[in-house]
Chain A
Amino acid sequence: MENYMKVIVFTLKGQRFGVDVQQVISIEKIQEITKVPRTSEFIKGVINLRGETIPIVDLKERLEIEQTESSPNNRFLIVQVEDVQVGLIVDSATDVLDINTDAIQPAPKMIGGVQEVFLQGVAKLESELLIMLDLGRVLDLEQTNEIKEIIE
């Protein structure tokens, strides 16, 4: 059993991605976002989630994937990495899968249009390849030197 992990599967522009279920707090319907000025482009703002303010990141923009039309299937994937809670905008959240960790292999340089730094690996499933995201890297603001501009 130890070799299996539960993974939440979501889509971005048709491509299926996976994140460890341990890191996902909840999946929420899209609601109105309050913009926060002078932050990185991919930070869309903050939302009120049951009395707490949660910053929202547009995952497609963060991973430099082309935008798609918004649809009623769009969701906020609320994730937690260490002490940081963030909501990610995804096209849709589809299933929960059990994946054999042995099936996860290191990612090639570029896959599904996503840079290697953001990837944990690729899981080879029976009928598809599931890209596993490294959320720590995705949320690390310094990773791509996208440090917010602070104008004194």
Chain B
Amino acid sequence: MDTNQYIEVFLDESREHLQSVNDNLLKLEKQPEELTIVSEIFRSAHTLKGMAATMGFEDVASLTHQMENVLDKIRNGELVVTTEVIDVTFSAIEALEEMVESISNGNDGKKDVTELVSKLEKIENGSSTHELHESTPSKTSDTLFEMDEYQSTIISQAAEQGYQVVQITVQLNDDCILKAARAYMVFEKLENKGEIVQTIPSVEEIEEGNFEQDFSLLMVTKETNTDIEKVIHSVSEINQVEVSEFTLEKANNNEKQESKPESVTPDTNTEAPQGKQKQSKTIRVNLERIDNLMNLFEEVVIDRSRLEDLAQKLKEPELTETIENMTRVTEDMQGLMLSMRMVPVEQVFNRFPRMVRGLAKELEKEINLEITGADTELDRTVIDEIGDPLVHLIRNSLDHGVESPAKRRESGKPEEGNVSLRAFHSGNHVFIEIEDDGAGINRDKVEAKAIENGLLSAEHSEVLSDEEIYQLIFSSGFSTADQISDISGRGVGLDVVRSKIESLGGNIIVESEPGKGSKFSIQLPLTLSILSTLLVNVQDEIYAVPLSAIVETMLLDETQIMSVQGQKVIDFRGKVVPIVSLREIFDVPRQDESKEENAVVIIHKGDKMAGLLVDSFIGQKEVVLKSLGNYLRDVFAISGATILGDGQVSLIIDPNALVK
């Protein structure tokens, strides 16, 4: 079978299933009694196994198969969920993820899974081996038949009409090769004797041979138990047959036992069909196509501004009207196009619960991770890039932030530390916050370290506020952990995090309160490629200033400019704000002496501000961000270029570089 065309589907679905197993395992650890969760995991694992086997990835299949066995035991109440079980299952999931990744990279997805398989086998057989053999009969009679309404009606009606309902468990010989065929023969014999209501596992699975040595079925019949046993034994390779009476009360009892889990089931049940409905309305589109569409759209935006320019010159009301309409439509289009590229941040957050669990174990700390706003959407490119910095920050919070249980007890805190991960929209930005209730940042330590590393002079440090000191942890070569651990403390971390976030057009700040914890806030732009700007004139040049950084624009009188130690400043609403002349900074030749620079754009970075002195304002404009190319990298205070309506290239100013 040519499976290549299905590989994408296989990969996508495998990832989904692995993720769901992952989530459910975490839930299970918290509520080990909850058998519905086990069934959920079992279902995912089972589907995964089936898919992998079809696609010919045998290692994946064999590992999932073994996992399934363990889960089955748990489901049947033969195995208690212990941390060990969860741990091993997690490592199996990790291995599976690796294999799936390797398949997606075009490899064969082969991996030595024997160790994991044997570990799982050990768990499977470990405590309950002998018990299993002795208790086979009793176990099988306990097999849970879950009745739906239809089936219970059949059974009650059958009872009324004098039929008896029997539960049959058939065990095949261990060396039976054609399990499916034998089972089929059993079915065929039985069909002459009555009606089969339900089987465990399902008929399809039995026909595919997807069962261990035994299977159970429920049938309505007039024959006696012994007759049925005889009939079944006429099929060869049958080891054992057990026939017992089945009553609805028994089923109801089972249901009652399950009533607790039931309270959860409705949720999942109602969710599932909805999910399916949604699915039928979505299609998977290659990201490349969306990117191409976006590129084409950028061209339209450029042409649109060209038309706007023309319309202004020509002053034809009809033309202007048409273009205004086109502007509206393209703005809507832009919104749609951007939303197409938006992905819930969940994709990144998903992997954190397990990571935190693992780390907490390693560090011997108790940590509760709380995630909110996982459905917040972010541009795809940002999603792809933000994972690593977040991993780093979370590791950091766990390692340096949250204290050991003993320490926490001493300082009167609950032993379990809290780390919350939040994402939310605000204006044109998305914020991601990581907050812990740990020890907070130690100002003295940071100060000492900064001075030691030459980032700060002792005299200077005294003037700095706590906030300013805290930001130093983002400087390169900085780590305050006393001991270097595997998890963090190599000191290459936070500066990389910062530069990554800044390269995405965002920024990061840290707030901290000693003894109470720290909070890292990351601010990210919603989109990267189209931005609103204010165009300004400096002599003959036109520059674009991103609107997101602008606080206010104002016109100045020469007299309002004061000088403090050679630095020009103005009084802006009671704050002293330094003034920077763009003409001087960018060394623009002064061609027209008469032009007065008296327009000021107040920009901000965090809570610091600066005023940019320009000749005049032109107006607000949506522009398409273009890079300056590989030849011109790291140009001071320029983040890119854009093409204006008249075909001119205009440079986009990076306000972050101009605010000090």
Contacts and interface: CB of A to CB of B under 8 A. Distances in A.
Nearest to A141: B631
Given A51-B299, A53-B629, A55-B628, A38 B635 contact: yes
Contacts of B271: none
A36 interface: yes
Nearest to B644: A48
A130 interface: no
Main secondary structure of the interface of B (DSSP, over half): loop
Interface string B622-633: 000011111110
A53 B627 contact: yes
Contacts of B643: 48, 51, 53
B120 interface: no
A47 interface: yes
Contacts of B636: 37-38, 148, 150-151
Contacts of A32: 648
Nearest to A83: B630
A75 to B, nearest CB: 18
Interface string A69-92: 000000000000001111000000
Contacts of A35: 541, 588
A84 B630 contact: yes
B302 interface: yes
Interface in A18-67: 32, 34-39, 43, 45-48, 51-55
B585 interface: yes
Given A46-B641, A48-B649, A37 B585 contact: yes
A107 interface: no
Contacts of A39: 632, 635
A48 B629 contact: no
Nearest to A51: B299
A51 B629 contact: no
A139 interface: yes
B586 interface: yes
A43 B631 CA distance: 10
B626 A43 contact: no
B634 interface: yes
A52 B643 CA distance: 8
B273 to A, nearest CB: 47
Contacts of B302: 51
B318 interface: no
Contacts of A43: 632
Nearest to A34: B649
B327 to A, nearest CB: 19
B631 A53 contact: no
B638 interface: yes
A36 B636 CA distance: 9
Given A53-B643, A150-B634, A34 B650 contact: yes
A84 B635 contact: no
A48 B647 contact: yes
Contacts of B299: 51
A61 B622 CA distance: 36
A74 to B, nearest CB: 19
A22 to B, nearest CB: 18
B238 interface: no
B607 interface: no
B628 A148 contact: no
Contacts of A141: 631
A85 B631 CA distance: 7
Contacts, number: 77
Contact of B587 (A38, A47, A52, A84): A38
Given A35-B541, A37-B586, A46-B628, A53 B634 contact: no
A124 to B, nearest CB: 32
Contact of A139 (B541, B631, B641): B631
B183 interface: no
Interface residues of A, number: 26
Contacts of B641: 34, 46, 53
Contact of B651 (A36, A54, A84, A139): A36
Contacts of B541: 34-35
A150 B643 CA distance: 25
Contacts of A51: 298-299, 302, 643
Nearest to B627: A53
Contacts of A46: 628-629, 632, 641, 649, 651
B642 to A, nearest CB: 8
A139 B631 CA distance: 8
A19 B630 CA distance: 21
Contacts of A84: 629-631
A44 to B, nearest CB: 11
Contact of B626 (A36, A38, A53, A148): A53
A85 B141 CA distance: 76
A14 B626 CA distance: 36
Contacts of B298: 51
Contacts of B630: 83-85
A34 B650 CA distance: 7
A17 to B, nearest CB: 20
B631 A36 contact: no
Interface in B288-339: 298-299, 302
A102 B399 CA distance: 65
Contacts of A150: 634, 636
Nearest to A86: B631
Contacts of A47: 649
Contacts of B587: 37-38
Contacts of B638: 36-37
Nearest to B649: A34
A131 B637 CA distance: 38
A39 to B, nearest CB: 6
Contacts of A86: 629, 631
A48 B630 CA distance: 15
A124 B641 CA distance: 43
B578 to A, nearest CB: 15
A144 to B, nearest CB: 15
A22 B651 CA distance: 31
Contacts of A38: 586-587, 635-637
Nearest to B624: A51
Contact of B648 (A48, A52, A148, A151): A48
Contacts of B647: 48
A101 B259 CA distance: 87
Given A48-B643, A51-B643, A53-B643, A36 B648 contact: no
B632 A36 contact: yes
A83 B630 CA distance: 7
Interface in A96-152: 139, 141, 148, 150-151
B628 to A, nearest CB: 6
Nearest to A45: B649
Contact of A36 (B585, B627, B635): B635
A54 B629 contact: yes
A41 to B, nearest CB: 11
Given A36-B628, A37-B638, 4 more contacts: A32-B648, A38-B586, A39-B632, A148-B635
22 contacts: A32-B648, A34-B641, A36-B628, A36-B638, A37-B587, A37-B635, A37-B637, A37-B638, A38-B587, A38-B637, A46-B641, A46-B651, A48-B643, A48-B647, A52-B626, A55-B629, A55-B631, A83-B630, A84-B629, A85-B629, A141-B631, A150-B634
The 6 closest A-B pairs by CB, nearest first: A37-B586, A34-B649, A53-B641, A38-B636, A84-B630, A55-B631
